[in-house]
Structure 1
């Protein structure tokens, strides 16, 4: 529900299969070890580097594992570097990296999407500056940075470069989104909602007026994935993972007055059964997904690109018409849904790494066009080029072989245009239908600017410690508000949140956050 969860937009493959991987060698790029027996001469051993990879459970068993598959073999063969990939489960990535660091077993390179976490690693002395390495060993990445000065603020701490990154494409800046069953609106004679009151009216109708026409009371106003809370928060400009400027004063999102409205809306949705009440325990949101793809939910709070869900819905309910829905306005105005900052994956160098030259060589190799083959696979097998755009040959084949591929391109320059999707998609009817809607969804996702008052959150140890202690307490309080009926209301919830923050030393954190803002961002 927070910032780090955006990254499911990377499931850009799905039915469109726009993720790739070029042909791979059969030997998997094994190290060429010293061999003097045959001719008395030494063969140079390949450089080695280790790096994390997010494990999203997308590698099919016959594709291999996150450590070894067609993508890893291709990279090893073509880059000339023996790359060891260290999987970290996506939902526990930072915990796993912390464990590896504490045990002295962390890989040479580690990456995540959150700058806050990288700041913590810097404060702990777990990572090192990389300015000298880039200057000494890099060519392609060094030139890329010169062409993208907007990335510089996201890579630096204390005047030194600690992070390597590349710019997000527009498809990766867009993230959260809403969808609505247009066919249900039409059947019930309803207009597309533009305000929160209208949206609630529509969802009540979807629940009560049998929009699927089966004579049963079995439809819901909405279903959602892990972006649900973040979407509601964004429409009220009260994102719990961000800091806002209120009269030039730093205020954490869940302590704004607007957050009371967030809790109130989530509670109303639950109390009126506009959503499935079991979602509180549906940690992987699989039941929520089923509600959408089986045609039982009228609104879907999720991501701008839902290729796999769309395909399944059309297979189950061929007449369904699911279309993108703009964020609706509230009494505070109209705000865009969550959009990512311009920096993509944030890569840091372990302070104990053995071969920084190999690490930089890998980054150079990746940014210098090779990311394309890592993402899109082998021409003639996974895609054919149409006006320079890779067109999927077989959606199902690519879904299996390439769905997991994009994140191995730790640096890339991918940024598709909305009109590219129809070209990239496979030629089957559902893929082509979705490609047109996907292009529209991207436009809708970027139409309204997401409110981000400062480019990135403050980072300092006191904040990290307090936030770590506060998060589980906040979740408990908010669950009570949402599920507790008349016993707990939104006003009680916001009061309790502020009380717990204060008890944990939040007043001092707020003071330090204000000082951080005035030192680092104000007037700049």
Structure 2
């Protein structure tokens, strides 16, 4: 089963699965021909994107469409995106977790496996699946990510290039032009441009009110990546694995973050701006000139254009540090990993596998694209959005329900896919460039995935909040704590919690699994 989007989108394939999402189709009756549908429950990230008139994450046009067309009745269990693991842990502990639990984080799935909260599914896939079983044969690169201690604990589909790309930087080209500046290519140039944005009144209002750098989402990871480090990855140094948060490079990233804070180049309240609404407002109202977020920031672009019609938001390539130029965070081949609750009985497992087969084969298309001739039309086999506002309200949130998919868009598709209005077309061109820029430099990842040892998960879970507290002191504490002093405290906490022993276990694991970690 080759990906349906590799060579273009077939009109006949789409026509077969784009029945009006608010009306039952013949597929519904076909799916229930053998008897009543089984009810299953699935977690879903609540990103706050369902408009009030659309309903809620639990009930909307797409949840109804799924229940009418799929071989199961699905109850969706929303968990806040920024607190997903905490919420899921609570549900698991109380015995009320949904049947299917998904996350992007393999370490979290491994943690659930170690706890016995999820179950191996090898035999069930072999017994009940058709579509996914064949898909795995065509994509053997997925297997190692789904396997823990020799057993398969999750299912996943391959990411399209648009989903491999993740973090990105944007810059106001009109601000650069106004101040006679060039796009920065190094850390030093980035600092200099940010200072000019702070002091040069680029918005022309005669006030010193600009916040040069704004964040969206986990943008601190972008700063880390510039120094070839992260918060929770393991890197190979001198033939051994070392934990990123204890390495010198991490200290360099912390020092840079502190410098940005001390010089007023980032918002003083960014640490407490948990949902990044304040930071996003700086960008969309034209008060910031550098934006650290994801490669696709369409809503932010549109809101900026409404507030500042002459703004030019363009992608910015990662700048080089003393370590060289690293790509910003890029995802591994598997998309979300969906695991099966250990409390599930075989009849529900069977129903869930049939549902996942359906989603992977055809259910994902309307969830990603909407309804043909209502939300999109085919132009040279590429789906083109008819009305961007209508799509944004009625479809953009629906992709969350496509827990597996075969969506493989290409950069050159974006201008064709976009609506014909000027803003949609202007953004589509920048979006194409942004995807290419996001994938231009490879993101450093020394091993395919982190060790799933329970000792590692337990240590990191305990260590992370302590490290975050120290880091916050370093960044906001002025002269009271240097980055070097902060790193000494971080390393001290790591050792106190058993870091030396965990490193020993991790390196034994590395030597044992080195070949499949390439």
Secondary structure of 1:439's match?
A: helix
Give the stretch that moved more between structures: 166-175 or 465-474: 465-474
Q: CA deviation at 1:244?
A: 0.5
**Equivalent of residue 237 in structure 1, options 224, 228, 231:** 228
Secondary structure of 1:52's match?
A: strand
Q: Which digits, 9 at most, give the CA deviation of each residue in 1:422-453, with x for residues without a partner?
A: 11111111111000000000000000000000
Paired with 1:202 and 1:323, the residues of 2 have a C-alpha distance of 15
Q: CA deviation at 1:165?
A: 0.3
Q: Which digits, 9 at most, give the CA deviation of each residue in 1:381-419, with x for residues without a partner?
A: 111111111111111111111121111000101121001
**Equivalent of residue 293 in structure 2, options 262, 277, 302:** 302
**Equivalent in the alignment of 1:362:** 355
**Equivalent in the alignment of 2:412:** 419
Q: What TM-score comes out, normalization by structure 2 length?
A: 0.93
**Equivalent of residue 340 in structure 2, options 327, 340, 349:** 349
Paired with 1:395 and 1:451, the residues of 2 have a C-alpha distance of 36
Q: Is the Cα contact below 8 Å between 2:71 and 2:351 reproduced in 1?
A: no
**Equivalent in the alignment of 1:216:** 207
**Equivalent in the alignment of 2:153:** 162
Matches within 5 A, 1:498-517: 498-517=491-510
Paired with 1:200 and 1:21, the residues of 2 have a C-alpha distance of 50
Paired with 2:19 and 2:93, the residues of 1 have a C-alpha distance of 36
Q: CA deviation at 1:214?
A: 2.0
Paired with 2:144 and 2:354, the residues of 1 have a C-alpha distance of 23
Q: Is the Cα contact below 8 Å between 2:72 and 2:352 reproduced in 1?
A: no
Paired with 1:409 and 1:237, the residues of 2 have a C-alpha distance of 33
Matched, 1:388 2:381: yes
Q: CA deviation at 1:324?
A: 0.4
Q: CA deviation at 1:43?
A: 8.4
Q: What TM-score comes out, normalization by structure 1 length?
A: 0.92
Q: CA deviation at 1:24?
A: 2.2
Paired with 1:352 and 1:67, the residues of 2 have a C-alpha distance of 22
Q: Is the Cα contact below 8 Å between 1:75 and 1:374 reproduced in 2?
A: no
Paired with 2:435 and 2:34, the residues of 1 have a C-alpha distance of 50
21 and 63 in structure 1: CA distance in 2 versus 1, 3 angstrom threshold = farther
Secondary structure of 1:206's match?
A: helix
Give the stretch that moved more between structures: 126-135 or 165-174: 126-135
Q: CA deviation at 1:522?
A: 5.1
Any stretches of 5+ residues in structure 2 without a counterpart? 1-16
**Equivalent in the alignment of 2:457:** 464
Matched, 1:376 2:373: no
**Equivalent of residue 407 in structure 1, options 393, 396, 400:** 400
Q: Is the Cα contact below 8 Å between 1:28 and 1:76 reproduced in 2?
A: no
**Equivalent of residue 93 in structure 2, options 87, 102, 125:** 102
Q: Is the Cα contact below 8 Å between 1:21 and 1:374 reproduced in 2?
A: no
The list of structure 1 runs, each at least 4 consecutive aligned residues, that deviate by more than 4 angstroms after superposition, is: 26-29
**Equivalent in the alignment of 1:455:** 448
Matches within 5 A, 1:59-78: 59-78=50-69
Paired with 2:77 and 2:181, the residues of 1 have a C-alpha distance of 51
Paired with 1:43 and 1:123, the residues of 2 have a C-alpha distance of 37
Secondary structure of 1:419's match?
A: helix
Q: Is the Cα contact below 8 Å between 2:318 and 2:325 reproduced in 1?
A: yes
Paired with 2:466 and 2:19, the residues of 1 have a C-alpha distance of 47
Q: Which digits, 9 at most, give the CA deviation of each residue in 1:160-214, with x for residues without a partner?
A: 1111000011111100000111111111111111111011111101101111222
**Equivalent in the alignment of 1:23:** 20
Paired with 2:223 and 2:25, the residues of 1 have a C-alpha distance of 46
Q: CA deviation at 1:280?
A: 2.0
Paired with 1:510 and 1:423, the residues of 2 have a C-alpha distance of 50
Paired with 2:502 and 2:211, the residues of 1 have a C-alpha distance of 41
Q: CA deviation at 1:369?
A: 2.5
Secondary structure of 1:302's match?
A: strand
Q: Is the Cα contact below 8 Å between 1:107 and 1:353 reproduced in 2?
A: no
Paired with 1:114 and 1:302, the residues of 2 have a C-alpha distance of 19
Q: Is the Cα contact below 8 Å between 1:178 and 1:303 reproduced in 2?
A: yes
Q: Is the Cα contact below 8 Å between 2:25 and 2:69 reproduced in 1?
A: no
Matches within 5 A, 1:195-344: 195-344=186-335
Q: Which digits, 9 at most, give the CA deviation of each residue in 1:58-93, with x for residues without a partner?
A: 111221111111111111111132111111121221
Paired with 1:45 and 1:249, the residues of 2 have a C-alpha distance of 55
Give the count of matched residue pairs: 495
Q: Is the Cα contact below 8 Å between 1:21 and 1:405 reproduced in 2?
A: no
Matched, 1:492 2:485: yes
Q: CA deviation at 1:230?
A: 0.3
Q: CA deviation at 1:370?
A: 2.3
Q: CA deviation at 1:304?
A: 0.4
Paired with 2:334 and 2:327, the residues of 1 have a C-alpha distance of 19
Paired with 1:233 and 1:22, the residues of 2 have a C-alpha distance of 46
**Equivalent in the alignment of 2:121:** 130
Q: Is the Cα contact below 8 Å between 1:23 and 1:377 reproduced in 2?
A: no
**Equivalent in the alignment of 1:16:** none
Secondary structure of 1:300's match?
A: strand
**Equivalent in the alignment of 2:43:** 52
346 and 436 in structure 1: CA distance in 2 versus 1, 3 angstrom threshold = same
Q: Which has the higher contact order (CA 8 A, sep 6+)?
A: 1
